[in-house]
C-alpha cells in the first residue's frame, strides 16, 4: 500500500514526537526517517522552500542517527530543532 504525502508527513511528525517525548529512538526509526524524507523530497510535491529545508534537515538527522551509539544524546542535541521540524511539517499537513 502506497502512503499519501499527508500520511508520510504525519508519520514523520509521529516519529519525531516520540523521539522528543521519550528521548529515545532506535536505528530503525532513524532509517525510517531517512527513507520517508528521501521519498517525499524525490517526488517534489512540496514547493515551499521552508518545508524542503526542514525535510533535508530531518533526512540528515535520520542518516546520522542510524550510526550513533547513544540515541538519547543524539535526540537531546536536536531537541530545539525537533520542535521546529514538527511545527513546520504540521503546517504542511
Q: Per-residue pLDDT tens for 3-53? A: 999 999 999 999 999 999 999 999 999 999 999 999 999 988 888 899 999
Q: Where are the domains of the chain?
A: 5-91
Inform me whether the pLDDT recorded for 1 exceeds 80.
Answer: no
Q: What is the pLDDT of residue 47?
A: 84
Q: What is the mean pLDDT of residues 69-91?
A: 96
The C-alpha atoms of residue 35 and residue 53 are separated, in whole angstroms, by 16
Q: 62 is written with which cell numbers?
A: 535520520
Predicted local distance difference test score (pLDDT) of residue 31 = 97
Q: Tell me if 60 sits within 8 A of 39, measured CB to CB.
A: no
Amino acid at each position: 500500500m502506497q502512503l499519501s504525502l499527508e500520511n508520510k508527513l504525519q508519520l514523520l511528525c509521529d516519529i519525531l514526537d516520540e523521539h522528543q517525548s521519550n528521548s529515545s529512538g532506535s536505528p530503525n526509526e532513524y532509517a525510517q526517517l531517512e527513507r520517508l524524507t528521501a521519498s517525499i523530497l524525490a517526488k517534489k510535491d512540496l514547493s515551499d522552500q521552508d518545508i524542503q529545508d526542514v525535510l533535508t534537515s530531518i533526512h540528515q538527522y535520520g542518516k546520522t542517527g542510524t550510526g550513533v551509539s547513544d540515541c538519547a544524546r543524539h535526540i537531546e542535541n536536536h531537541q530545539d530543532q525537533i520542535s521546529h521540524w514538527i511545527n513546520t511539517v504540521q503546517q504542511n499537513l
